[in-house]
Amino acid sequence: MYLATLTHQGRDRLAGRLAPQDPWRLAPPHMSLGEVIAGGTLPWSWGQLPTGADLVPALPYRPGALYGVGLNYPDTIEERGGKRPTEPCLFPKLSSSVIGSGEAVVIDPEVTQRVDWETELAVIIGTEARQVPEADALRHVFGYTVANDISARDLQERDGQWLRGKGLDTFCPFGPVLVTADEIPDPQRLRIRTRLNGETVQDGSTADMVFGVPALIAYLSRFFTLRPGDVVLTGTPAGSGDFMRPRRALRPGDLLESEVEGIGRLTNPVRSSVPDGAGACVAVS
């Protein structure tokens, strides 16, 4: 099933449809996507929307824990001059960084000048997982969505670790559609693309992951209890701007589109925290 949170008549409502071409139907007003994930049960009653209803995508739900995975595609490792990891490279992504489709990625030019994009498959945990064998890992998945692990490369370099560089407010676009796991029996067969102002800058496949989704869940569950609604960001293919020559960075006025095959597309404008655009980010060569 395809699920989303849509703003209808000024209220956020859980919506669902059986196929991408079907019209959205609304769940009862008291239900939210976060509650559905936590409870593991979909609504039994869906309301018919009136023709021409005005629906605006909203943040699907606000995740609890978000686990990032770095260097999980061979072309990314090559692009960055790294070595193939022998185990997943983990980092935290903050819940406060999450925004929905249509919301702006906001850059503070006094904090960072090298803001980069990383479109990723996001895995939504559906049932508690602890010490899970890889063979059983997908049983704990509720569904999948699209995310972009926006990254301040200058902060990453300066700090020597990734919390500030990955965790700034608005630095995790997420959604807008969550696809339940039964619709995607094999998460290792999905195309991932990023477009910047209409130009394709990333084009890869989850088939190329160093550590696939089951391996990531099993590995994470060795150290942490994964709970319903937690998110695993599975890494990004090559094509991030900071590793291009000349180097590229997100700038106010840009339009960023993040897409995963079979799930959907995130669209996020980029703006400066400075109202008149003074001090806007520029590409760094």
Per DSSP, 173 falls in state: E
Are 159 and 137 contained in the same domain? yes
Q: How many CB atoms lie within 10 A of CB 39?
A: 11
CATH number for the domain spanning 106: value is 3.90.850.10
Residue with tokens 């060795």: 222
In-domain check, residue 30: yes
Give me the numbers of helices (H) and strands (E) for the chain, helices first please.
Answer: 5, 19
132 with 32, same domain?
no
Using the 3D structure, point to which of 36, 57, 78 is the last residue of a domain: 57
pLDDT tens-digit series, residues 134-189: 999 999 999 999 999 999 999 999 999 999 999 999 999 999 999 999 999 999 99
pLDDT digits (tens, 9 = 90+) for 3-29: 999 998 889 999 999 999 999 999 988
Cα distances from 283 to residues 160, 182, 192, 195, in angstroms, run 22, 42, 24, 17
Model pLDDT for residues 70-81, shown as the tens digit of each residue: 999 999 999 999
Same domain, 219 and 90: yes
Average pLDDT of span 89-100: 98
Residue 86 pLDDT:
98
Residues 44 and 136 in one domain: no
Mean pLDDT of the chain: 94
The pLDDT value recorded for residue 175 is 98
Same domain, 26 and 90: no
The pLDDT tens digits for 239-284 are: 999 999 999 999 999 999 999 999 999 999 999 999 864 444 433 3
Per residue, the 3-state secondary structure of 211-226, as one string, reads: CCHHHHHHHHHHHCCE
Q: What is the pLDDT of residue 48?
A: 78
**How many whole angstroms separate alpha carbon 26 and alpha carbon 6?**
9
Mean pLDDT of 226-242: 98
As a whole number of angstroms, the distance between CA 9 and CA 252 comes to 30
Percentage of the chain beyond pLDDT 70 is 95
pLDDT at 25: 92
**Sign of the dihedral through C-alpha 144, 125, 207, 95:** positive
Per the CB < 8 A criterion, the answer to whether 40 and 228 are in contact is yes
Domain that includes residue 51, residue range? 2-57
pLDDT for 50 equals 64
Among 37-51, 53-67, 135-149, which is the least confidently predicted range?
Answer: 37-51
